[in-house]
Structure 1
């Protein structure tokens, strides 16, 4: 999606992917804004960008920042009321696009469970425990960089809760802490524009 600075721009940036996705979900649910860009910046930073009128963008960013900070580290947030066209060109480099698969899934979101660890050894243990503990489907995996790695599952709410609890427990039993985890009972349909990037079918293609 091209963005030309025609509307206000709202941004949150987090350490790791899971807080960013939780923040994005709340941004989209809080106000009439549109998800336009998502970027794995590097060095573990992840940014989510939305557009809309100024009041809506302010409300969305405030809610997204709180949601992200509840489960991880929020590194930055901002509302740009009237960005110039050049800024829009930069934002468009990282634009999210809706694929046919995303369109087909829109409106029928399943609950989502996410765990993020520091290191692949721990996230594989978490993924194994999650799928053994409950009837969930592994939908994605992401290496944000600098060692932060996430695993995503979906299913009904109870199954996702059980899966995340089991995954977190498994990592704790290895003597380390999970960086972040969350269950999103009713994900906003537009989240698929982000999560489809990390679908195993995409990564293995």
Structure 2
């Protein structure tokens, strides 16, 4: 989505992908804002940006910050009431596909389950355990750099919960630590725009 500074801009930044996704979901559900940008910055930092009127953006950022901090580490948040066009151009570099913003008549995304850990050895063990434990589909995978790696599954709510629990136990059984985990029972439809970035089918050669 092209953003030209026409509305207020709200940003949250987290350590790792999973807190950013949780924060984004809460931002979009809290106020009348639109997802405009999502960026894996590197060195484990991930940023989510929304636009809307100032009050809506302020409410969204506050709610998203709280949600992200409950999942992992929030590293920064900001509300820019009137950013100049040059800032808008930078935001647009990392813009997500606008697609159909109406979402009318379309099915809501299935529940989502996430695990984020340090190293591919552990995340592969988690993914294996998740898919063996419950009827979930492996949808995505992301390396946010510096060793932080996430895996995403989708299915019904109970299956995602069981899968995430099994994935956590599998990692802990290897004497490793899950950095963050999350189950979103009813994801905001706009999260699909982010998930497409990490879809396995788009990552395979």
State the Cα RMSD in Å: 1.5
Where do 1:25-174 residues align within 5 Å? 25-98=25-98, 106-174=106-174
Residue equivalent to 1:197: 197
1:140, 1:200 within 8 Å by CA — same for their partners in 2? yes
Residue equivalent to 2:10: 10
Determine the C-alpha separation between the residues in 2 that align with 1:15 and 1:195: 18
Between Structure 1 and Structure 2, how many residues are aligned?
A: 203
2:140, 2:200 within 8 Å by CA — same for their partners in 1? yes
Determine the C-alpha separation between the residues in 2 that align with 1:99 and 1:53: 21
Deviation at 1:98, TM superposition (A): 4.2
Deviation at 1:176, TM superposition (A): 1.4
Gaps of 5+ in 2: none
Deviation at 1:99, TM superposition (A): 5.5
**How high is the TM-score relative to the length of structure 1?**
0.96
1:106, 1:190 within 8 Å by CA — same for their partners in 2? no
Gaps of 5+ in 1: none
1:105, 1:189 within 8 Å by CA — same for their partners in 2? no
Q: Map Cα deviations across residues 115-146 of structure 1 (whole Å, 9 max, x no partner).
A: 00000000000000000000000000000000
2:33, 2:60 within 8 Å by CA — same for their partners in 1? yes
